[in-house]
Amino acid sequence: VLAVTYRLEPDGRPRVRYADLEQHLAARGVATPSLAEVRASILDIRRGKSMVLDPDDPNRRSCGSFFLNPIVSPEECARIEARAGDAAMPRWRQTDGRIKLAAGWLIERAGFARGTRAGPVGLSTRHTLAIVCHDGARARDVLDLAARIRDRVEARFGVRLVPEPAFWPTGALTRL
């Protein structure tokens, strides 16, 4: 990130549009949250996924959420659900009629459990969408694990996961 622009309103009300956040606030009994309450809930949620810097967290060297949640047509969603054999597959209808799927759910169902290790890299013990570096990890180790995950999800569900990070130089990820 090279620049960020914010548009803030004095005494503005937060816009809560994230299911995990809505559930967390509801569990805390907060119906109309302040910005501070939203911030506290977001930090709790992210901490629970090892996505807050914490020197005592074994997942602290996370590369973050590594893949975007795929957005597919309703027909593709039906095909993927049939391949998954699970009508409870998480999904969220988008305003344009397409459907967002949970990349972490697909990764787990493709055989990658939380905490799976591949040498000096692995998946977070808390969240399968995050790749974690351990002692001796190199960028190539991260990319190799990401490619294995992407390929297995594609073989299992016919969905090709797209990396969330931007790679520099732009051609650095030709194999992924």
DSSP string, 124-148: -SS-TTEEEE-TT--HHHHHHHHHH
Do the beta carbons of residue 142 and residue 136 sit within 8 Å?
no
- pLDDT band of residue 161 (cuts 50, 70, 90) is very high
pLDDT above 90 covers what percent of the chain? 66
Coil/strand/helix, residue 71: strand
d(CA 81, CA 70): 13
Which pLDDT does position 63 carry in this prediction? 78
Q: Which residue has the higher pLDDT, 61 or 4?
A: 4
Span 49-72, mean pLDDT?
84
